[in-house]
Amino acid sequence: MSQSSQALWFDAAPLLVVSAAYLGAAVRHGHRLLSRRSRSPDDRSRAALSLLSVFPVVALAAAIYGVVLAVQRERPVGGIWLIFGLALLLGVPAVVALVTGQARDGREPTDQVRSRAAVSAVLGRPHDAGTVAEALLDQVEALAGVELAGVLIVDHDTRTAGGLVARVNGRALDWFPDTRIDLDKEPSGVATAVHEASAFAVYDAPASKIVSRRMVEATGAQSVAFVPLIAEERVTAVLVAGSVSKPRAFSSEELALLQGIAAEAALALDRTRSNAALAEALERERFVARLSSRVRSELDIDDLLRVAVEETGVALGVDRCFIRLGKMGGIPTAQWQVPGLAPIKSSRHLAVSNLATRSVATIAIEDVATAPELEDRSLGGRQPLLDLGSRAVLAVPMVSEELIGVLAIHRSAPGHWSQEDISLTETVAREIGLAVRVAGLLRENERRIAQQSAFFRIAEVLGQPLSLYETGRALAEAATDALGGACAAVLLPRGESLELVDIPGLPDVLAGALAGGVPESAACLPAAAQEGRVLASPDVTEDDRFEAEWSQLAEAAGYRALLAIPAASPRTERAGLVLVFFAEERVFSDEDLELAAHLGNAARSALERSELFEAERTARALSQQLARTGGVLATELDPAAVLDEVVQQAAVLLTADACALRTVEDDELVVSAAWGKGAEDAVDTRVPVTGRLSGDVFQSRSPLAVEDAARDDRLVDADAILSAGYTAYLGVPLSGPEGTLAGVLSVYAAKPRTWRTEEIEALLALAANTSAALANAELYSRVSLEKERSFAILANIADGIVAVDRDGKVVLWNAAAEEITGVPQEEAIGLTAVQVLQRELESGEGETPSGQRLVSIIRGGEEVWLSLSEAVMRDPLGAVAGRIFAFRDISADLMVEQIKSDFVAAVSHELRTPLTSIYGFAETLLRQDIPFGEEERRTFLGYIASESERLTEIVDQLLNVARLDAGDLQVELGRIDVGSVVSEVVETAEESPAMNGHRFEVDLPAEPLAAEADPDKVRQVFNILVENALRYSPDGGTVTVGARLNADRVEVRIADEGIGIPASERERIFRKFYRAESAARDGAAGTGLGLFIAKELVTAMGGRIWVDSTEGEGSSFSFELPVARE
């Protein structure tokens, strides 16, 4: 062997073998240690990994050196044995590592076997699915050391998977049982495990596209392994295991371990599912037996169906269950739903039930929103089901020789209907169909028995003498009972139309539609009634004799079939209608039509008796009402009130809706009174006497009746009340005095109405009573008006009017007579004039009263003069029947004349005296024969000047009176000192010649007396009072003058010691031109104007003046003025 060969085999080859041994040991132990470290990262694992990291380095170094020796083929330093020995020494650790790794590999399968045995022992005991899943997770967490573990159950058709239980670090996830994964549409590791039926692991879960992102985010998984649980070649569940703290690589051995545990768990879950299915099947069998027993023992269909839907809904765990009898219905015959769901109002547009009814086959819809079977719009569409909150629907037709109806169950969530659900529902449907069939036969038998008794019931009910209203109700009751209808409506002839009788139990929708008669959409009904034939409609919605509006009405009212029976009215010669409504479609048999014809014949006889009864009762009521109305009108004496009463009584008399009374004014008919809604607005409207309706009545002098004026627009336009919404019209003429026409009395009805003969006669009688009452009222009104006019004249005339009867006793004593005589009317009536006035008023016996006479009477102790005229009233025989006296008080006129005379005399005297003095002194001064000295001449001129001043004062007084009468007196108010004015006037008076020995006593306070007054007017008033005090006081008398502050007034007082003023004259002395009798008698000078002027001036300044006096002791005049404002 050459040296190159020795170098290759003894140097390079051992080194390459050592390199391979170290590399193999590193690979075997590295994978195991990394898996252990990921499960339990302890110090021992970390040390082993550190030691193992030397193996690759040694393997690499040996490999490189061996390759170099093989290539160079040169013997190394030290010779072949050195390298060979070193290779043997280095190979020992590698061989030991390989041997121990193989031993460990031999033990690991044994651990897996033990683990699977332990799982099998735990899961072998009977448990439910949750317990099995919990045990599985316990073993997975213990053997695989995972942080995340969970189980999802796959549904039977492998479309969805639902969470069962999951834990993270031993903590259960509460939300996980509600988790649902769509295996067909949503990418997920669960879907992959189900479809591939094999286990796999994902190292980086957040970045993986095959892992459900929402599950990763919810659990925080970093690495995940998915292991399918397979039983009977089907994936029944998926085991999910992983880490959440950091990524982890799952080895094939770990996946194998998880698959082994999962296999035992799959068997356990399959056993629990089989046990549950068996128990469920047994329970369903018991439910079917129990339900069959109950429904077959129940003869009442409504109770039967109610029990069936409730039991079925609870047993199948659905959200809604209902039964609909017939093909296409409205409200389900019986229904049940879980709390919180609203009941079905109409099942007509529920597509699944309609499809099952149409195809007479079971229809199972897993998702209403996507099912292609529901695309057919004629079935009703999918929206009504979605509006009910139904997503999964199972509908099974109920058939027993023929289609009876449909049984439907709904779920709120989409989902698969299992074969067990379908079979159970079909079984229930068969049992219910059979029970309904039996119950229907029993009910049919009962109906036939009831039909036989209905003939007797019809004869019994309609054979009694009932009112028309009660007969209508009896017809409805008899029709419903005899024909088995849901309800019935009766329409009786009224005018040209049909009127609905108020019947309890009739749906509001139907009552509203028939309130105005049969609508145009069902015109075939009154046509059939007039022809006297029965009209049967098994299904109104499919009957082309009815328009769409009537079909929609039928659907809204919840009925399908209709039977119309004519009910002839002999009196009106028109036929009414009895309408019988049925909730379901109905094929009317010959027996039904025969019974309907019998009901129509019985109705004719009953209506004839009722109409005769109504006619008699109406006539009696009209007579009684006319008597009451006549009594009311006889007591009414106001024409306007008579008209108002007549329109109300006429409406009550004929039960009309409105009434109007038109009177004739200037060839026009004027609405003078009206009653009724909208009719009162027509008051004062006018129509010519030649117009339509009321004009026709006026011209023809005969009644006019119109059943339906709305058909002729010309009639409506001719009457304002018809334009207000009324339809029927009845008018009669209203007679006036001496055979004339006074107007037209009209009544109105809101609906078309046939006016019966007795009603027209009653209105004519009322019109006659109205004419008489109106004539009496107008006569009374005229008499009352004349009486009131006479009373008004007598009450307001200025002359006293007294009337006496033939015995001389007072029968009239007007207000003026009271005022003039001072005797109240109540005291004078019934007494003679002598007893009232203490003197006779009538002229002497045999004298003919003519012209005016002056008569005096005593009133309140004083004489009053009357100017009296007298008239004699005579009866038809010429005897005196009474007398009327007219008189007026002329005492004031006499007094005025006397005052004028006295005033002229006084003024003449007052003016003559100063004029005489002036004239005398002037004549004296003009004499040439007597020489006058300067002193004498000055004296004479002084007298002339003083008399001129006196004359000026008299003229000023007269001018002041004129100003006061004209209202032209001007007062300039200001702040004055009353004390200063008093003092000034007193000083002036003391220097005047009028003092005649009088003296003044002045009583003034020390402080000023400020008043709000005109100083000139105050001075004038004070001068008048001082002059009066001096004039009427005896010579040498004392005049006391004082002023004081009295609250908010300044009071001034002037007292004298004169003759005093009688009490009877204290008020009159302040009158214009008045002079006291004592003053005139004693010859005191004066015009009688001073005190009048003083009073008017004081009043103009806002004050007042008064007098206190005692006869023989003097008088005290006082006046007060407002205190001046600060």
Phi, psi of 1022 (to 5 degrees): -65, -35
Q: What is the C-alpha end-to-end distance of the chain, expressed in Å? A: 163
Place of tokens 């390989």: 98
Find the range with the poorest average confidence among 387-396, 717-726, 890-899, 1089-1098.
890-899
Q: Domain extents for the chain? A: 3-107, 129-272, 298-331+345-444, 467-512+528-617, 638-779, 797-889, 970-1122
Report whether 676 contacts 667 (CB < 8 A): no
Place of tokens 């005379």: 901
Calculate mean pLDDT across residues 931-957.
Answer: 76
| Closest to 95 measured CA to CA, from 23, 31, 21, 29 | 21
pLDDT band at 312 (very low <50, low <70, confident <90, very high): confident
DSSP letters spanning 392-420: EEEEEEEESSSEEEEEEEEESS--PPPHH
Q: Decide if pLDDT at 524 tops 80.
A: yes
How much is the pLDDT for 1041? 92
Report whether 590 contacts 504 (CB < 8 A): no
Q: Decide if pLDDT at 80 tops 60.
A: no
Q: Decide if pLDDT at 910 tops 80.
A: no
Looking at CATH, the fold of the domain delimited by 129-272 is given as: Beta-Lactamase (3.30.450)
The one-letter amino acid code at 450 reads A
Q: What contacts 24+ positions apart, CB below 8 Å, involve 736-741?
A: 736/664, 736/771, 736/775, 737/775, 741/664, 741/698, 741/701
How far apart (Å, rounded) are the C-alpha atoms in residues 826 and 1030? 51
Find the range with the poorest average confidence among 101-110, 200-209, 676-685, 708-717.
101-110
Q: Which residues have a Cβ under 8 Å from the Cβ of 478 and sit 6 or more positions away? A: 454, 457, 458, 461, 462, 599, 602
Q: What is the pLDDT of residues 81-121, one digit of tens each?
A: 556 666 666 666 666 666 665 444 444 444 454 555 555 55
> What dihedral angle (degrees, nearest 10) is formed by the CA atoms of 544, 545, 547, 549?
-110
Report whether 59 contacts 93 (CB < 8 A): no
How much is the pLDDT for 380? 87
Class of domain 467-512+528-617: alpha beta
Q: What is the DSSP letter of 534?
A: -
Q: Which residues pair with 202 in a beta bridge?
A: 224
Report whether 801 contacts 817 (CB < 8 A): yes
How far apart (Å, rounded) are the C-alpha atoms in residues 297 and 1125? 113
Report whether 662 contacts 744 (CB < 8 A): yes
Provide the 10 A C-beta neighbour count for residue 369: 12
Q: Decide if pLDDT at 374 tops 70.
A: yes
Q: Decide if pLDDT at 694 tops 70.
A: yes
Provide the 10 A C-beta neighbour count for residue 891: 17
Residue 1017: alpha-carbon gap to chain centroid: 74
Place of tokens 């034939």: 533
Phi, psi of 1023 (to 5 degrees): -60, -45
Q: Decide if pLDDT at 486 tops 80.
A: yes
How far apart (Å, rounded) are the C-alpha atoms in residues 153 and 554? 51
Q: How many residues does the chain have?
A: 1126
Q: Decide if pLDDT at 213 tops 80.
A: yes
Q: Decide if pLDDT at 6 tops 90.
A: no
Provide the 10 A C-beta neighbour count for residue 1040: 17
How much is the pLDDT for 131? 83
Tell me the C-alpha to C-alpha distance, in Å, between residue 799 and each of 871, 887, 888, 895, 1050: 14, 5, 5, 19, 46
How much is the pLDDT for 1118? 92
| Closest to 395 measured CA to CA, from 371, 425, 418 | 425
Query: Which CATH number among 3.30.565.10, 3.40.50.1010, 3.40.50.970, 3.40.190.10 corresponds to the domain 970-1122?
Result: 3.30.565.10
| Closest to 695 measured CA to CA, from 676, 711, 714 | 714
- pLDDT above 70 covers what percent of the chain? 77
Instruction: Outline where DSSP puts E strands in 806-930.
Output: 810-813, 853-859, 862-874, 880-889
Architecture of domain 298-331+345-444: 2-Layer Sandwich (3.30)
pTM over 0.85: no
Q: Decide if pLDDT at 38 tops 60.
A: no
pLDDT band at 224 (very low <50, low <70, confident <90, very high): very high
Instruction: Outline where DSSP puts E strands in 341-486.
Output: 363-365, 392-399, 403-411
- pLDDT above 90 covers what percent of the chain? 13
CATH no. of 638-779: 3.30.450.40
Find the range with the poorest average confidence among 157-166, 438-447, 985-994.
438-447
Whether 298-331+345-444 shares its CATH topology with 467-512+528-617 is answered yes
Class of domain 797-889: alpha beta
